[in-house]
Chains A and B, each alone.
Chain A
Amino acid sequence: MNAPTLEYVELAPLITVFGAAVVGVLIEAFAPRRVRHPVQVGLALVALVAALVQIILLAGTELIGAVGAVAVDGPALFLQGTILVLAIISVGFFAERRLEGGGDAFAPAASTLPGSEDERVLVRQGALQTEVYPLALFAVGGMMLFPAANDLLMLFVALEVMSLPLYLLCGMARRRRLLSQEAALKYFLLGAFSSAIFLFGMAFVYGYAGTLRFGEISEALTANVGQDGILLTGVGLMAVGLLFKVGAVPFHSWTPDVYQGAPTPITGFMAACTKLAAFGAMIRLFYVAFGGLRTDWQPMLWAVAIATMLVGAVVALTQTDIKRMLAYSSIAHAGFVLTALVAADSSGTAAILFYLATYGIATLGAFAVVTLVRDAGGEATHLAKWAGLGKRSPVLAATFALFLLAFAGIPLTSGFVGKLSVFTAALDGGAAPLVIVGVIASAVAAFFYVRVIVLMFFSDPVPDGPSVAVPSLWTTVGITLGAAATLLLGIVPGPLLDLAQQASIFVR
């Protein structure tokens, strides 16, 4: 049996990130505790930047590598590049140590019992948790592989490589550890469940097409006649798995709990990057493999998109916790992206790519701001505590308001251009009712974003309200970059739109 040939150059970004993750595990095992933190942070940053450079060098490549399992094309490279940029900023947020008096956002040892003597000893020693970095690198690798996977098996492997580290990361919060562990458990159980359903769906599709490759599945769709029941069952079950990952209704119930319980830097990272990866995988699967089946899956996605937009926007109205509110808002945003997915052509792809990039940037920035508003109990995530923030820290509150306005899709922010492009794609694809629902959902959503702005700027501060911690340089730079990009892409979106347009062709 011959060993398969691999396209090492084209797959280099993936190899770099996974390689660094493995090295990170070795460091964890062998390096002395003192040096671990700087070494791990440095390694993660170097690996991510190196991978980003490789991606930029690969721009324009179109091939299917790794014996047909991995596609290297416009959408994959665009999403991988965006994920890397977001991950680089996220690693900076993970490494933030000025907020917890020398510690970071993670429990010194997540395996200790909350409130136990072991935990207290570790806290006293000022021990730092560094497993976060290799775990994050594995997750980033999985996220990069997910939208590039070009056969069903690779798709599943990527899904698991991406998800397993995230389950762990969610349970590592330094404060409110029980909530965090509950979130991790919930995410893991539901995630495992959806993975199983996804796998089950794959089996059906394989049974129908007799192949795992996307391109060959697409050919089988046109060649085979009959047996539609098997195929449609398979497509439906696979869709459940993917819709779970993007947090679409009715598979969204994990989102608010996990977003709230996870350490906030992780929430930001997960909210921004998982959506990119999962939507990337979804558009490839549905356009490349199941493109011939459009008329069959379109009605299903119509219903899901409508439900997602409405439930996300309406339920967000009732939230009193800022992280939960952002979680429901992310559900509504998944619905907006789905409207363009229904359009199912290259203009839809470009719109989705642009939307995901801008949404990711704003989300990362918004959650980073949440980490800075603190009181004695850690982050002050209850909305009532944010009252009057605009009077005490006008710059921070204005930045957060900018992110909220971008979520609401107000012009001169990137969110508006994103919304404009997805709605245009949807209307172009003949989905006028979806756009109407989208507009109504946007109006509802605007209400709760505005409510937070009112609270920050027009309410009087509560007496023992939270203060705004002074972060390290990296966090400041990260938030500033996010805000600048949000504003800039709202005024001059041309270059990124152009890039998304060029990157919207799938290799088949």
Chain B
Amino acid sequence: MTTLIALPALGAVLTALVPTGRGTLAKQVALGAALVTLIVGALISVHFLFDVDLGVEAETYEWIPEFGASWALDVNGISVALIALTVLATPIVALAMWREAEDEKRDPKAFFALLLAVEALTLTAFLSRDLLLFYIVFEAMLIPLYFMIGMYGGPQRRYAAVKFLLYNLVGGLLMLAAVIGLYVQSVDAGAASFFIPDLVALDIDAGAQRWLFLGFMIAFAIKAPLWPFHTWLPDAAAEATPSNAAFLSGVVDKVGTYGMIALVLPLFPDASREFAPAIVVLAVVSIVYGALLAIGQTDMKRLIGYTSISHFGFIVLGIFALTGEAAAGSTLYMVNHGLSTIALFVVVGFMISRRGSRQVGDYGGVQKPAPKLAGVFLFAGLSGLALPPLSTFLSEFLVISGTFLRYRPAAVVATVGIVLAALYILWLYQRTMTGPVRPAVEGMADLRTRETVVVAPLIALILLVGFFPKPLVDVIDDAVEPTLVEVDIDQPEPLAPVAEPVEEGTGR
């Protein structure tokens, strides 16, 4: 597992060492490193998804003995899904960025080196079983991302980058206070440790739990982003390059939702139960608010940014519904949202690179000159609105039906989000792709080979996970189960056995 982290880190250093001016070489080095990482990541995923023993084992090395912090890595069902997403997304983003970096008349080297650095940090976050290690990478990844947004992107990129950094830094510092608070609890209990299972075993009194919960939760809610902590995301999504925006909201922000399900629930079970209704309300607000604002956007990237807020609302809703079904659905949703958002951003990026504008109004009738492009766009959009049998459908279904068991009104309102999603996606398609061909769009080139290579795996996976989700759902279920046992809440009687809708859902 250390190899999985070391590869992109090494790749980042190598890419940075390529002499200035040799842009293509730097890109090739970076892509190579990302592909090798993909292979290792795929092996690890296969090990866990299909129960093939490839000798992947948890690793623990002493790191800062003075604090009881260790380099402890392990994989469970939740993290393996996200690791697979991360290793897959990085080469895709790198390839999609191939031309974008040069449009900025900047040396593309830095972007690719930073991309690999963020990949290494994100993977560490998903693998870490040590809270200090998790916190360090959670904070450290802000710096490369900040430069990626600030150096490459639209005219307002500096503003967006600073806003992104400050929002996340404030959240991170609050979390730091909570991390220290939790650590002090372990010191008081007699065994100073940052090892997450040790911390989970602690018995923390309700008052302290509340504060610690808030510290963690605000940080993750900013990262994820949950209404009302979301305002940095549309700016960052609009100003960053499309591929960078894809990576940011598709992969990196998952660290926030991962933190909620993998850290917050097991560490603070009492406080989680207590605050769950409030968080559910925020999540539902996010779903509807994000969708409504998405409808009103005229900037395509901003629009996708708002759809992400809506989708993150679904994920958070599923986590804090505290039912096995909803939590499994949320985890699956993280992967699926990653795939569909990356696809959307990347396709929009292709359109922007041709027309040079991100305004919806500047397009129209694109499907005539570029039918393949339009088709891929429609496909990505439909995946975004969770059309069966695409992968997102199953996860959205699980989240809503799981929530329905406990918070019936919330589930009902959340379904409004689905209707709105259909509205914003289809309307976007209609405005840009159909209708009379605008003069500026005439002669727009269709998908090139490189672009096809970028999009093809995404489409394949969206279909594959949609039709054959069983291995993924199984490992996720296994991992989610103990988390909810830790929260120790009565599971409501499912309306139907959990396994059945899964199987049926795939067939429809």
**A interacts with B:** yes
Alpha-carbon distance A419/B132, docked complex (angstroms):
13
**Is B64 within 8 A of A493, CB to CB?**
yes
**Is A428 within 8 A of B187, CB to CB?**
yes
**Main SS at interface, chain B:** helix
Given that A428-B187, A446-B166, A450-B165 are known contacts, is A412 also in contact with B173, CB under 8 Å in the complex? Answer: no
Q: Which residues of B contact A156 (CB under 8 A)?
A: none
Q: Which residues of B contact A420 (CB under 8 A)?
A: 67, 132, 176, 180
**Is A497 within 8 A of B66, CB to CB?**
yes
- The answer to whether B327 has its CB under 8 Å from any CB of chain A is no
**Is B135 within 8 A of A411, CB to CB?**
yes
**Main SS at interface, chain A:** helix
- The answer to whether B170 has its CB under 8 Å from any CB of chain A is yes
8 Å CB interface, B207-226 against A: none
Q: Which residues of B contact A405 (CB under 8 A)?
A: 143
CB closest chain-B residue, reference A427: B184
**Is B66 within 8 A of A498, CB to CB?**
yes
- The answer to whether A494 has its CB under 8 Å from any CB of chain B is yes
- The answer to whether B427 has its CB under 8 Å from any CB of chain A is no
**Is B180 within 8 A of A427, CB to CB?**
yes
The minimal Cβ–Cβ distance linking A479 to chain B, given in whole angstroms, is: 19
**Is B162 within 8 A of A439, CB to CB?**
no
- The answer to whether A198 has its CB under 8 Å from any CB of chain B is no
How large, as a class, is the contact surface on chain B? 20 to 34
Alpha-carbon distance A420/B194, docked complex (angstroms):
13
User: Which of B64, B132, B135, B150 touches A454 (beta carbons < 8 Å)?
Assistant: B150
The minimal Cβ–Cβ distance linking B503 to chain A, given in whole angstroms, is: 44
User: Which of B64, B132, B170, B173 touches A494 (beta carbons < 8 Å)?
Assistant: B64
User: Which of A411, A416, A423, A457 touches B177 (beta carbons < 8 Å)?
Assistant: A423
User: Which of A424, A428, A442, A457 touches B173 (beta carbons < 8 Å)?
Assistant: A442
8 Å CB interface, A415-435 against B: 416-417, 419-421, 423-424, 427-428, 432, 435
- The answer to whether B389 has its CB under 8 Å from any CB of chain A is no
The minimal Cβ–Cβ distance linking B310 to chain A, given in whole angstroms, is: 28
- The answer to whether B254 has its CB under 8 Å from any CB of chain A is no
**Is B147 within 8 A of A435, CB to CB?**
no
User: Which of B67, B139, B176 touches A423 (beta carbons < 8 Å)?
Assistant: B176
**Is A439 within 8 A of B177, CB to CB?**
yes
The minimal Cβ–Cβ distance linking A399 to chain B, given in whole angstroms, is: 14
- The answer to whether B369 has its CB under 8 Å from any CB of chain A is no
Alpha-carbon distance A435/B173, docked complex (angstroms):
11
The minimal Cβ–Cβ distance linking A417 to chain B, given in whole angstroms, is: 8
Alpha-carbon distance A366/B169, docked complex (angstroms):
22
Q: Which residues of A contact B67 (CB under 8 A)?
A: 420-421, 424, 497
- The answer to whether B499 has its CB under 8 Å from any CB of chain A is no
User: Which of A411, A417, A442, A501 touches B137 (beta carbons < 8 Å)?
Assistant: A411
User: Which of B66, B158, B174, B184 touches A458 (beta carbons < 8 Å)?
Assistant: B158
**Is B143 within 8 A of A410, CB to CB?**
yes
The minimal Cβ–Cβ distance linking A363 to chain B, given in whole angstroms, is: 20
User: Which of B146, B162, B184 touches A424 (beta carbons < 8 Å)?
Assistant: B184
Alpha-carbon distance A414/B187, docked complex (angstroms):
23
Alpha-carbon distance A376/B282, docked complex (angstroms):
57
Q: Which residues of A contact B173 (CB under 8 A)?
A: 439-440, 442-443, 446
Chain A, residues 325-368, CB within 8 Å of chain B (1/0): the string is: 00000000000000000000000000000000000000000000
Alpha-carbon distance A427/B208, docked complex (angstroms):
13
Q: Which residues of B contact A302 (CB under 8 A)?
A: none
Chain B, residues 10-50, CB within 8 Å of chain A (1/0): the string is: 00000000000000000000000000000000000000000
- The answer to whether B181 has its CB under 8 Å from any CB of chain A is yes
CB closest chain-A residue, reference B171: A443
8 Å CB interface, B111-147 against A: 132, 135-137, 139-140, 142-143, 146-147
- The answer to whether A474 has its CB under 8 Å from any CB of chain B is no
CB closest chain-B residue, reference A390: B151
**Is B170 within 8 A of A443, CB to CB?**
yes
Alpha-carbon distance A493/B69, docked complex (angstroms):
11
- Most chain B CB atoms below 10 A, which of A411, A424, A443, A494: A411
Q: Which residues of A contact B184 (CB under 8 A)?
A: 424, 427-428
**Is A457 within 8 A of B176, CB to CB?**
no
Given that A427-B180, A427-B184, A446-B169 are known contacts, is A458 also in contact with B64, CB under 8 Å in the complex? Answer: no
- The answer to whether B275 has its CB under 8 Å from any CB of chain A is no
Q: Which residues of A contact B146 (CB under 8 A)?
A: 450
CB closest chain-B residue, reference A428: B184
The minimal Cβ–Cβ distance linking B139 to chain A, given in whole angstroms, is: 4
The minimal Cβ–Cβ distance linking B351 to chain A, given in whole angstroms, is: 27
The minimal Cβ–Cβ distance linking A75 to chain B, given in whole angstroms, is: 17
Chain B, residues 61-102, CB within 8 Å of chain A (1/0): the string is: 001111100000000000000000000000000000000000
The minimal Cβ–Cβ distance linking B480 to chain A, given in whole angstroms, is: 29
**Is B150 within 8 A of A410, CB to CB?**
no
Name 19 interchain pairs, CB-CB below 8 A, sorted by A: A405-B143, A410-B143, A411-B135, A411-B136, A421-B67, A423-B176, A423-B177, A427-B181, A428-B187, A432-B181, A435-B180, A442-B173, A446-B166, A450-B166, A454-B162, A458-B157, A458-B158, A494-B66, A501-B66
What 3 A-B pairs are tightest by C-beta distance, nearest first?
A411-B136, A497-B66, A411-B139
Given contact pairs A435-B177, A446-B173, enumerate 6 new A-B contacts (beta carbons under 8 Å). A411-B136, A424-B67, A450-B162, A454-B158, A497-B64, A498-B66
